[in-house]
Chains A and B, each alone.
Chain A
Amino acid sequence: MNAWIGHIATLMALFVAGGGAAVAFLAGRTGGSDPRYMRAARQAGVAVFVLVLIAFATMERALITHDFSVSYVAQVGSRTTPLFYTIISLWSALEGSILLWALILSGYTALLVRWTRRYYEEPNGDSQVPYALGTLLSVNVFFLLLISWPANPFHILSPAPLDGPGPNALLQNSPFMGVHPPLLYTGYVGMSVPFSLAMGALFAGRLGPEWPKRIRRWTMVPWTFLSLGILAGAWWSYEVLGWGGYWAWDPVENASFMPWLTATAFLHSLMVQERRGMLKMWTITLIVSTFLLTVLGTFLTRSGVLASVHAFTQSPIGPFFLVYLAIVLLGSLALLAWRSETLESEGQFDAVLSRETAFMINNLLFAAFAFVVLLGTMFPLIAEAVRGAKVSVGGPYFNELSVPIALLLVFLAGVGPALPWRKGSLELVRGKFRWPFAAALAVAAVLFVFGVRQSLALLTFGLAVFAFGLLIEEFATPTRARRRNTGESLPVALWRVIASNRRRYGGYIVHSGILVIAVGIAASATFRKEAEWTLRRGSAADIGRYRVQFDSVWAVKEPNRDGVIAATTITTAAQPFAKLYPRLNYYPTAVEPIGTPAVRESLREDLYLVLMAYTQDGQQATLKAIASPLVGWIWLGGGIVALGALLALWRTRAESERQARAIERGGEAARHAAPVH
């Protein structure tokens, strides 16, 4: 029953999306002359969402009620899995994760329908929106095709198995499984919307002045989710995998990071386009690349072309993804080439020392970064094609190439906002840079005196302080001026300044968050201490400022797993500090035990304990301990980024009205302007 409902709902969604895409393109071609086309396309957009929601809810019901006649439930379900993990096991394997993908994608489609409702009410000759909706619906078609056919999770099994294996043991070992995939997908899949808007503009052959505003928010939202999703994934692997690291340049991690890089570049070059009418071709290429990278990344990691720790089972979706990638890649590049004349720059560079230049360099760096990651990710494939050998590039390649780029980006995160548009002067630079530069030198000197000799770490801290100082000036200078003029108190003045341009100051807060993350990465990568001991009951060993004492070890039995827990007492300078309980979990479907490290987290330093082994009599345990400073700054930085992004996105009702009117006027202008073909 569940299998039937789910399968029929996905099939109906597939046909409705296909039909909707067709009428949306028709509406675009006819320039909104017949409002019935747009109305039909709009209804299709909402209907697809409702149908996918039904399929999704059906799958959840099948999982929760252990309906093993549904093939996907037989694959990831188990009667012993706790309810929470049963619910989130929906995205623990390939087919279900594409169902989640389809749900988020159709949700965005329904949102786009709602957000563009003004265009349906009054067709104004602007065919960008119909074309954009058509593109987004055709993206839906592809993913719905996958879950209707090669990755159908709703196959009927008869007779139904009595029980299933449960989700992959690693995926039921941490609640992050409930957080990371939805966040990441909301970001990753959301990049389809700005892509569709870009395609809409290219199809319509018009990139009006309202275009950057229109696409910016649709990129900011997925960008924020993608940032948080990547960080949640890093946090998860840190908390669970037991190696004390958070990033391994695994193909799946890279697949999420590459679109983040190009989307970040896009958000910046969009500002240049908005302010100066420059870099149009480049900007639109960036957002198209972002979407292409999400498709490429998914293809690489789901088709079995690359081996990854995120081991999705071999599946027949590879050829489908390749054909789709070919269509999107060739189609969008051809469209870009065809429309390249409409995308010529209106403005030009006035001076080397200007914000435009900073944005240009920033864009080149982000693009180079994305290329470095792409090359490293694809290298095993290239090497096998050329030399026939199975080789892969590891962390050293990525680290050596990405660290210099990242350092330059840290520098620009402060310098960019400090430079004025069009033309800066040396005096201005000298005035603005003096204090931050002195602060950076002072911090580096103090660290040096306290024994920090690692030049890369010193450079990172110095650059971060410098950039942070420049950002603070951007807040401080107008606040000081406001206080002089109005006599307001400092917090009030600061808040009014921020409120006067939330988009700008939100952006600077995002920058500060990135600086905090950079410091966290540099410190934890440089000053990490690691030790492994075999301890008898009651004995202790030292790592850094901590003394770790092994107290006891015992076993627990849980429905879905067995566990062995070690108790340890941590002291610093003979003072009690913490009690930590690292454990090992034995899942019936996992050959090896899966650890749950115990982490004492603080902003200063994390102490990370892993239970490696124990003797049967409980007299001895082997523990791995890692002390890494400032790891918490990475997660804190993520929070700051989210806060800044929220501030930049937040609009009052009056502001949204104003913008909606501006966009309508853009549409008016479109009706009067001669179409470019």
Chain B
Amino acid sequence: MHWRRWLVPLSALPVLALLAWGLTRDAHTIPSPLPGKAAPDFALQTLSGDSLHLHDLTGQPVLVNFWASWCLACRGEHQVLVDAAQRYGPKGLRVVGVVYEDTRDNAQQWITERGGTWPNVLDIGSHTAIQYGLFGVPETFFIARDGRIVYKQIGPLDPAVIDQWVPKLLASSAAIGPNVPEQPFAQGKSEGYVRTSPDFPATRGTTPPR
């Protein structure tokens, strides 16, 4: 018996170990520059037609949740948000839904079917999504009282994430973390993005010529 011929199969083991380790990593999680920075401000219309300005919520912890009615993962997440709003709402947590690439009717029907009393705004042109560096839906940004993003959840929320971060947001009277930003909300730079909207082409902006 040549024992040496078994060396080749054995040499495959480190490769398999490397691949197994690779599975525990998420190649798509690229460190986001946003946590620790001021949340980009936005003023958008809610589904009911009112105007919502994120700046007006300064001083209160906010969850900004991006979702869409065509998004399957958002379905499961919705109940988590409903629970979170029920439990932490009375303590001061504010939830803002941002409807991503969807119609007002579909979004309204979703809310009617699934409940939820927090305001949902329509991000026509996905321009707020771009400012938040959205990778897909759902994504949720945890914003502290001072207007800084403390944590970003890619993919659906689960109760553990809520319980880990929301109490921290509620507990701190001011900033969490070392650096305090100069201004509470970053002013959005809205010009210069190619925008999409249903009433094309009148409202469509363009990339300024270079």
Contacts and interface: CB of A to CB of B under 8 A. Distances in A.
B126 A314 contact: no
A632 B77 CA distance: 49
B160 interface: no
Contacts of A41: none
B194 interface: yes
Interface residues of B, number: 44
Contact of A304 (B28, B68, B207, B210): B28
A161 interface: yes
> Do most interface residues of chain B lie in helix, strand or loop, or is the interface mixed?
loop
B22 interface: yes
Contacts, number: 128
Contact of B12 (A165, A319, A329, A620): A329
A592 interface: yes
Given A165-B70, A305-B25, A616-B201, A333 B209 contact: no
A334 B209 contact: no
Given A164-B70, A306-B27, A591-B126, A381 B22 contact: yes
A589 B102 CA distance: 9
Contacts of A545: none
Contact of B72 (A71, A322, A334, A384): A71
A208 B130 CA distance: 63
B209 A319 contact: no
Contacts of B208: 613, 615
A622 B210 contact: yes
Contacts of A325: 16, 19
Contacts of B30: 390
> Do most interface residues of chain A lie in helix, strand or loop, or is the interface mixed?
mixed
Contacts of B70: 74, 78, 161, 163-165, 589
Nearest to A613: B207
Contacts of B21: 385
Nearest to A164: B70
Contact of B23 (A165, A303, A592): A303
Interface string A377-419: 0101110110000100000000000000000000000000000
Interface stretch (B2-10, B36-44, B91-99, B177-185): B2-10
Given A311-B28, A330-B16, 19 more contacts: A71-B72, A74-B72, A78-B70, A161-B72, A163-B70, A303-B23, A306-B22, A306-B27, A322-B23, A330-B9, A337-B9, A390-B30, A586-B200, A588-B101, A591-B126, A613-B194, A613-B207, A616-B205, A622-B207
Interface of A: 71, 74-75, 78, 157, 159, 161-165, 296, 299-300, 303-307, 311, 314, 318-319, 322, 325-326, 329-330, 333-334, 336-337, 340, 378, 380-382, 384-385, 390, 534, 555, 557, 562, 564, 584, 586, 588-589, 591-593, 612-616, 620, 622
Interface of B: 2, 5-6, 8-9, 12, 15-16, 18-23, 25-28, 30, 68-72, 101, 106, 109, 113, 126, 129-130, 134, 155, 194, 196, 200-201, 204-210
The 9 closest A-B pairs by CB, nearest first: A613-B207, A333-B9, A305-B22, A307-B27, A534-B209, A165-B70, A337-B5, A555-B201, A586-B196
23 contacts: A75-B72, A161-B72, A165-B70, A165-B101, A304-B28, A305-B19, A311-B28, A318-B23, A319-B23, A322-B16, A322-B19, A333-B9, A336-B9, A337-B8, A340-B5, A555-B200, A562-B201, A564-B201, A588-B101, A589-B70, A591-B101, A591-B129, A613-B207
